[in-house]
Structure 1
Amino acid sequence: MQTKKQSTKSEVEGGLMARWGASLADWSERWFPDAYVFAAIAVVIICVAALLAGRTPSQISVDFGKSFWGLVPFTMQMAFVVISGYIVAVSKPVKRLVRYLALFPQTPKVAVTYVAFMAMVASLLSWGFSLIFAGILTREVSKRVKGIDYRAMGAAAYLGLGSVWALGLSSSAALLMATKGSIPPALYKISGTIPLQETLFTWQNLVMIVVLIVLSCWICYVSCPSAERAKTAEMAGIRYAEDTDDEVGTPQTPGEYLEYSPILTIPIVLLGLGYLYHVFSTQGGLAALDLNVYNFMFLILGMLLHWTPKAFLKAAAKSVPMVGSVLLQFPLYAGIFGVLMGSGLTDVLAHFFVSISTHDTLPVIVGIYSAVLGLFLPSGGGKWIVEAPYMLEAANQLHVNLGWIVQVYNAAEALPNFINPFWMLPLLGLTGAKARDLAGYSILQLMFHTPAVLIMLYLLAKTLPYIPPIMQ
């Protein structure tokens, strides 16, 4: 009898939590503007702060305009993270792999937990790949396992973006700091380059990845409703039909023959593989892996998996609309960076963080600040450009490991993604769900992730020594 009462109480609490999450999502969808508007608001706030710091309107305009195009290489690199990840995820071999992987889960709880695990593992390779891969996996698993709550499943598929993606190979902040040509000169003077051996490839980062994956899977398993209580995709009017969009047709004219043939794909792929072999053999695995090499690998893999130019270009065309916000927002972040540096606000903010922090508490304070700011500036790479100058300067002054500050930012940056619909859009398009459908279970994850992340940031920071900036 006691067990039954506890079970009923747990189900009621779960229902209340889901309703609370749905209410928050409804409110945010009604009142939160587009992410671009948040970036524009940030421009206004920084410019007002620069005026108060003594900068003239003319000087602010020059600072903004001179830096506006300063992140063009980085902007294109981030756009290609999305494009290349999408191209690989929708290729026929990957779709066949997904259909095979979808055969394993047999019950709703296991299916939701399984999708969550696969989404998080995929996000360690590429967050752009993870969203599409998990969306396709969700569709295939939902066809085979009956009684799955589509809200719990959608939130599970989104977990890669809300938990560990920034701790993996597509971490924009870590790859940026390892790529000298992408670091703005003013920031480079503060930090130098920070190799991946000091950010992604540390045992401390591995600990965070393992803990967060285990925690996320556990939450998915215990919170997933039973088949009797589930709201399925069919109940929501969502139907997952068989994907018939793989076919690219056949050439209709002699001029189209090369588009449908691998004759041109093969030499390009061989050239790419030759270059990658040269880079990794001469520079070593970790030293060679920067944003350019990372995107190059995914594009070459995409060409190989699609096999013909027609299939490759068809996938690329579908991915391009997903990068529009990146192309428009990142110049604004570059302008903000210019105003911050020109007005001296970076020194003011660095002094502020030093004044309220100690060597031990700076990682936690940076983590909280980054997570809160991420609610209003949902852009991992662009926001890092804004935060990095004063965060890393504060770390230098307090002798906190610079690589760990990058990872503090990465771990905290993922937290607001749980409730920010900006990054959900590609997944929502594949699953047919709405942002508010995912919010209840995402907020449940957030409640557990936030203290876990902050505790790990504090404890693991104690294991890392301060390393002065490396100037190359």
Structure 2
Amino acid sequence: MTSASTNAASEKGLARVAQRLAGWTEKWFPDAYVVALAGVVVVAVAAFANGSSPQMVADAFGNGFWDLTAFTLQMAMVVLTGYVVATSPPVARLIDRLAAVPRTAATAVSFVALLAMSVSLLNWGLSLVFGGLLARAIARRTDLRVDYRALGAAAFMGLGAVWALGLSSSAAQLQATASSLPPALLKITGVLDFGTTIFTWQSIVMCAVIIVLSVVIAHFSAPRGAAIKTAEDMGVDVHDEPEEVPPRSRPGEWLEYSRILPILAGLLTVGWLVSQLFSKPVLTVVSSLNGYLLVFLMLGLVLHGTPRKFLQSVSQAVPATAGILVQFPLYAAMAAILTKAEGRGGTTISEHLAEFFTSIGSGGGFAVVIALYTVVLGIFVPSGGGKWLVEAPYVMQSSTDVQMNLGWTVQIYNVAEALPNLINPFFMLPLLAVLKLRARDLVGFTFLQFIFHLPVVLVLVWLLGTTFDFVPPVIPPTP
């Protein structure tokens, strides 16, 4: 058997294992909300085992449930604003032009992966919809036969590879926003702006390596010849039918169909942004989650042209935010039980976990263990970054104890947080709705990415972590 045929057989074997894993996941994995509920119960039981009283655990649960209401809304708005921008007419025209660029099937797949990851550095919600629409546009081409499953998996690589290393990173945004940080976490870490997390040269290098790796894997794993399954082969209609906005029926609707208000709101946003950039450090402005969301929301309004078209897009985007709205309060409750329900000796579960991670010691070993822990937990608790609310109190405390750079610890979490998305299909749901596919159609390709990504990520967090010095946290005064 030649080396080429051996490699082909190996790829088929990996794909076969991945398809079985996808089938098992679809059959046995409960909804992510159910997993989050189970997590609350597990944490509560652990608190009881630690010696906490039932009243203390119940108080921590109830009092902490709404601790992160503002952050929950902000994360839901990341998805909504990304969807609205991606479905605007100017972006749709851009997607059609980009779809004409690739010349071969393999290049088309790697091209989608590259653009999906690039867009995810701006907004992961935008990446999902943008990547899905680009995959559909390429699938509509009559001069190019491309595997639709591989295109869909490539469109998911933004969320499966580098989204948490970009501007919409939940953990980095949370750490940079004092008003969104839980008080217990703020006392440990202080505020960490983007200059200490996603904009460090180490994070940028790590991001670049992962993007290159993902594009190469996407290119060489794209089916060729008779193995290709097009959208037509799979019975998927990729010809979009634009939703028509109903005509104006009464005088009172005139402003709803006018471009005047969106233009004025856009000018106000530009004026505010210019004022911020002239009055504050650039990193402070860029790290502002509220400012980030304001710009994206107004951008979506301007790109849609009229309030009526904008609101129509918003109504389509709202269902994609449901998981965040109902899950994040449970993460907040878990974090409260971990950090506030004191047991024997006045210690909490968070403190015990911090002691465990501290016992690992400093250096590369600590970085690798934190990354692996994040991956394993993320397989069972898909959160899009909300899991950081649960992990951060004890992970950051142990990071301080072993004098690991706190900003790099956030990035260890961020790069590892994306990996479970390549296995657990929870965050594929918005993309699958666009593609009209099932999770098992994509997981064979994303699981292959996971096999290569995991060892590379572990090596990167180990090696790059050695270049950091420990910087003691600056705790802001209590208002």
> For the superposition of Structure 1 and Structure 2, which TM-score range results when normalised by the shorter chain?
over 0.9
Amino acid at match of 1:336: M
Shift in Å, 1:451: 0.3
- For 2:203 and 2:63, the matched residues in 1 are separated by 36
2:398 counterpart residue number: 394
1:27 counterpart residue number: 24
Instruction: Map residues 302-451 of structure 1 onto 2, 5 A cutoff.
Output: 302-343=300-341, 344-451=348-455
Aligned residue among 296, 315, 336 for 2:294: 296
Instruction: Map residues 243-322 of structure 1 onto 2, 5 A cutoff.
Output: 243-245=241-243, 247-289=244-286, 290-322=288-320
Is the aligned partner of 1:118 residue 2:122?
no
Shift in Å, 1:279: 1.6
2:60/2:340 contact within 8 Å kept: yes
2:237 counterpart residue number: 239
Shift in Å, 1:86: 0.4
2:208 counterpart residue number: 210
1:149/1:227 contact within 8 Å kept: no
Amino acid at match of 2:114: F
SS of the aligned residue for 2:380 comes to coil
| Superposed CA offset, 1:5-31 (max 9, x none) | 332222222222111111100000000
- For 1:382 and 1:372, the matched residues in 2 are separated by 15
Instruction: Map residues 3-18 of structure 1 onto 2, 5 A cutoff.
Output: 5-18=2-15
1:77/1:295 contact within 8 Å kept: yes
Greater CA deviation, 193-202 or 223-232?
Answer: 223-232
Sequence identity (%) = 47
Shift in Å, 1:268: 1.5
- For 1:217 and 1:68, the matched residues in 2 are separated by 41
Shift in Å, 1:265: 1.5
2:364/2:461 contact within 8 Å kept: no
- For 1:319 and 1:429, the matched residues in 2 are separated by 12
1:116/1:217 contact within 8 Å kept: yes
1:146/1:227 contact within 8 Å kept: no
Greater CA deviation, 93-102 or 274-283?
Answer: 274-283
2:470 counterpart residue number: 466
SS of the aligned residue for 1:148 comes to coil
- For 2:382 and 2:276, the matched residues in 1 are separated by 33
SS of the aligned residue for 1:106 comes to coil
Count of aligned residue pairs for this structure pair: 468
- For 1:165 and 1:133, the matched residues in 2 are separated by 14
Amino acid at match of 1:383: K
- For 1:242 and 1:408, the matched residues in 2 are separated by 40
2:362/2:403 contact within 8 Å kept: no
Shift in Å, 1:69: 0.4
- For 1:428 and 1:66, the matched residues in 2 are separated by 37
SS of the aligned residue for 1:161 comes to helix
- For 2:380 and 2:76, the matched residues in 1 are separated by 20
SS of the aligned residue for 2:364 comes to coil
| Superposed CA offset, 1:40-90 (max 9, x none) | 111011000100111111110001100100000000000000000000000
2:363/2:466 contact within 8 Å kept: no
- For 1:41 and 1:300, the matched residues in 2 are separated by 38
Gaps spanning 5+ residues in structure 2: where? 342-347
- For 2:454 and 2:366, the matched residues in 1 are separated by 16
Aligned residue among 26, 30, 47 for 1:50: 47
Query: What TM-score comes out, normalization by structure 1 length?
Result: 0.97
2:196/2:407 contact within 8 Å kept: yes
SS of the aligned residue for 1:382 comes to coil
1:179 counterpart residue number: 177
Instruction: Map residues 100-249 of structure 1 onto 2, 5 A cutoff.
Output: 100-144=97-141, 145-245=143-243, 247-249=244-246
- For 1:269 and 1:168, the matched residues in 2 are separated by 24
SS of the aligned residue for 1:125 comes to coil
Runs of 4 or more, structure 1, over 4 Å off, are none
2:345 counterpart residue number: none
- For 2:145 and 2:255, the matched residues in 1 are separated by 47
- For 2:187 and 2:292, the matched residues in 1 are separated by 25
- For 1:242 and 1:313, the matched residues in 2 are separated by 20
| Superposed CA offset, 1:326-360 (max 9, x none) | 11001111111110111211110000111123333
Amino acid at match of 2:19: A
Amino acid at match of 1:421: P
- For 1:441 and 1:125, the matched residues in 2 are separated by 24
Shift in Å, 1:386: 0.3
Greater CA deviation, 7-16 or 279-288?
Answer: 7-16
Greater CA deviation, 85-94 or 280-289?
Answer: 280-289
2:75/2:170 contact within 8 Å kept: yes
Shift in Å, 1:282: 1.2
Shift in Å, 1:222: 1.2
Amino acid at match of 1:451: P
Query: What TM-score comes out, normalization by structure 2 length?
Result: 0.96
Shift in Å, 1:450: 0.2
Aligned residue among 37, 59, 68 for 1:40: 37
2:66 counterpart residue number: 69
- For 2:164 and 2:24, the matched residues in 1 are separated by 27
Aligned residue among 452, 456, 468 for 2:456: 452
Aligned CA-pair RMSD: 1.1
- For 2:277 and 2:225, the matched residues in 1 are separated by 49
- For 1:21 and 1:150, the matched residues in 2 are separated by 17
Amino acid at match of 1:183: L
Greater CA deviation, 287-296 or 154-163?
Answer: 287-296
- For 1:273 and 1:358, the matched residues in 2 are separated by 45
- For 2:357 and 2:135, the matched residues in 1 are separated by 43
SS of the aligned residue for 1:361 comes to helix
- For 2:278 and 2:301, the matched residues in 1 are separated by 23
| Superposed CA offset, 1:403-429 (max 9, x none) | 000000000000000011110011101
- For 1:177 and 1:355, the matched residues in 2 are separated by 25
Greater CA deviation, 147-156 or 107-116?
Answer: 147-156
| Superposed CA offset, 1:164-197 (max 9, x none) | 0100111010011000000011110010001110
Greater CA deviation, 296-305 or 73-82?
Answer: 296-305
1:138/1:153 contact within 8 Å kept: yes
Aligned residue among 82, 87, 90 for 2:87: 90
